[in-house]
Amino acid sequence: MLQVSTTIALAALSIAAALCIVRMARGGSLPDRVVALDSLLVIVVIGLAVLAARTGESLYLDIMVVASLLGFTGTTLVSTFVERRGAR
């Protein structure tokens, strides 16, 4: 049961990550890429949770904590950069 549902969830998350990467590549402006990167990190954290639930491996949980911390720091840094230099 859990094997089937985590397989479907990982497939959906892969499609979502691909769509986020397409938005990062096409861009539009710098904030578009930042928003896409932010949601890509959220997808990575959800994927790690799904992998942890699938395998029962507790190493993924530590990586999840670090990834969610890094996502917030990166977005905050880039937002001050955007405010000063303009969105190009």
Distance from C-alpha of 31 to C-alpha of 88, rounded to nearest angstrom: 8
Q: How many CB atoms lie within 10 A of CB 58?
A: 8
7 scored as a contact of another protein (CB under 8 A): no
Task: Provide the H-helix boundaries in 1-88.
Answer: 2-26, 30-55, 59-85
Size of the site for another protein (CB under 8 A): 56
Type of residue found at 71: G
Interface ranges with another protein (CB under 8 A): 1-2, 4-6, 8-10, 12-13, 15-17, 19-20, 22-23, 28-29, 31-32, 34-36, 38-39, 42-43, 45-46, 49-50, 52-54, 56, 58, 61-62, 64-65, 68-69, 71-72, 75-76, 78-80, 82-87
